[in-house]
Structure 1
Amino acid sequence: MTLTFLSISIHQSQSQSQFTISPMIMKNPNMIIFFLLLLLSLLSPSISISSRCNPQDKKTLLKIKKSLGNPYHLASWNPKEDCCTWYCLECDEITNRVIELTIFQGNISGQIPAAVGDLPYLQTLIFRKLTNLTGNIPQSITKLTHLKMIRLSWTNLSGPIPSFLSQLKNLEYLDLSFNDLTGSIPPSLSNLPNLEALHLDRNKLTGSIPDSFGNFKGRSFYLYLSHNQLTGYVPKSLGDLTYSYLDLSRNKLQGDVSFLFGSGNKLEVVDLSRNLFEFDLSNVVFPDDLRWFDINHNKIYGSLPKGLASLELQFFNVSYNRLCGPIPIGGRMQNYETTEYFHNRCLCGAPLPACK
Structure 2
Amino acid sequence: MDKTTTLLSSLLFLFTFLTTSFSKNLCHKDDKNTLLKIKKSLNNPYHLSTWDPQSDCCSWYGLECGDATVNHRVISLAIFSGQISGQIPLEVGDLPYLQTLIFRKLTNLTGQIPPTITKLKNLRFLWLSWTNLTGPVPGFLSQLMELDYLNLSFNELSGSIPSSLSLLPKLKYIDLSRNKLTGSIPESFGSFPGTVPDLYLSHNQLSGSIPKSLGNLDFNRIDFSWNKLEGDASLLFGANKTTGYIDLSRNMFQFDLSKVKIPKTLGILDLNHNGITGNIPVQWTEAPLQFFNVSYNKLCGRIPSGGKLQTFDSSSYFHNKCLCGAPLKSCK
TM-score, structure 1 normalization? 0.88
Q: For the Cα contact (< 8 Å) 1:166–1:192, is it kept in 2?
A: yes
- Structure 1: gaps (5+ residues): 10-20, 26-30
Instruction: Identify the residue that residue 52 of structure 1 maps to in structure 2.
Output: 26
Aligned to 1:154, what secondary structure does the other structure show?
Answer: strand
Cα shift readout 1:241-270 (whole Å, capped 9, x = no counterpart): 221110000000000011111122221110
In 1: Cα distance, 2:303 partner to 2:242 partner: 25
Give the 3-state SS of the residue equivalent to 1:69 in structure 2. coil
CA distance in 2 between counterparts of 1:35 and 1:322 reads: 78
- What are the superposed Cα offsets for residues 48-103 of structure 1, whole Å, 9 maximum, x if unpaired? 34410000000000100111111111111110001111110100022200000000
- Pairing 1:141–2:117 present: yes
Aligned with 1:87 (options 61, 64, 69): 61
Any unmatched runs of 5+ in structure 2? none
Give the total of aligned pairs. Answer: 328
Larger Cα-atom Rg: 1
Q: Distance in 1 between the 2:312 and 2:57 partners?
A: 54
Map Cα deviations across residues 1-40 of structure 1 (whole Å, 9 max, x no partner): xxx598344xxxxxxxxxxx4xxx7xxxxx98x457259x
- Structure 2 CA distance for aligned equivalents of residues 118 and 289 of structure 1: 44
Task: Please say if residues 309 and 330 of structure 1, whose CA atoms lie closer than 8 Å, have aligned partners that are also in contact.
Answer: yes
Q: Is the 8 A contact 1:151 1:176 kept in 2?
A: yes
Report matched runs for 1:240-251 at 5 Å.
240-251=216-227
1:37 aligns with 2:14: yes
1:169 and 2:145 aligned: yes
Tell me which residue corresponds to 2:160: 184
Q: Deviations over 1:131-157 (max 9, x none)?
A: 110000000000000000100001000
Q: Distance in 2 between matches of 1:139 and 1:5?
A: 65
CA contact (8 A) 1:220 1:266 kept: no
User: Residue 220 of structure 1: CA displacement?
Assistant: 4.7
- Take 1:36 and 1:112, find their aligned partners in 2: how far apart are those partners? 44
Contact 1:221 1:242 (8 Å CA) reproduced? no
In structure 1, the partner of 2:84 is 108
Q: Distance in 2 between matches of 1:93 and 1:175?
A: 27
Q: Which structure features the higher share of helix residues?
A: 2
Please show how residues 313-324 of structure 1 align to structure 2 within 5 Å: 313-324=289-300
Residue 182 of structure 1, CA deviation: 0.4
Aligned partners of 2:170 and 2:195 also within 8 Å: no
The equivalent of 1:221 in structure 2 is 197
Q: 2:50 aligns with which of 42, 51, 76?
A: 76
Query: In structure 1, the residue corresponding to 2:190 is in which secondary structure?
Result: helix
* Residue 16 (structure 1) aligns with: none
SS at match of 2:258: coil
Give the conservation status (yes or no) of the 8 Å contact 2:171–2:195: no
